[in-house]
Amino acid sequence: MAATYNLLFIYTAELFPTAVRNAAMGCTTQAAQMGAIVAPLVVVLGERVPFAVFGACGIAGGLLVVYLPETMNKPLYDTMAGMEEGEKQSLLE
């Protein structure tokens, strides 16, 4: 779970252009904090429920990581227009 938490910030910084990167980081942080708020409530649900919930979250995160785009050797864009232009060029190649 800790690796998934760190991965959110790495991918957010790499995927969003500078113009909207701070807003995207804010949304990512808010989503992570919602998980931090809900986690203690799940723990008090009994002996087996927390293991099932946290296990399912870990497995789901592991499976969904396959759908993350590769960012190696890709430029970090400054504007949305630059990002759209870069995506058009990569589709043509």
Closest CA to 1 of 58, 82, 63, 62: 58
Provide the phi-psi class of 46: left if phi over 0, else alpha when psi is between -120 and 50, else beta. left
Instruction: Report how far residue 79's alpha carbon sits from residue 20's, in angstroms, rounded to the nearest whole number.
Output: 8
Q: In the chain, what's the furthest Cα-to-Cα distance?
A: 54
Ordered by start, the domain boundaries in the chain are 2-67
Q: What is the pTM of this model?
A: 0.70
> pLDDT (tens digit, 9 = 90+) per residue, 53-62?
999 988 998 8
Cβ 13 vs Cβ 25: under 8 Å: yes
DSSP state of 70: P
> DSSP string covering 26-42, please?
HHHHHHHHHHHHHHHHH
Q: What is the pLDDT of residues 39-88, one digit of tens each?
A: 999 999 988 999 999 999 889 988 988 888 888 888 888 888 877 777 77
> What is the pLDDT at residue 92?
61
pLDDT tens string 12-23: 888 888 888 899
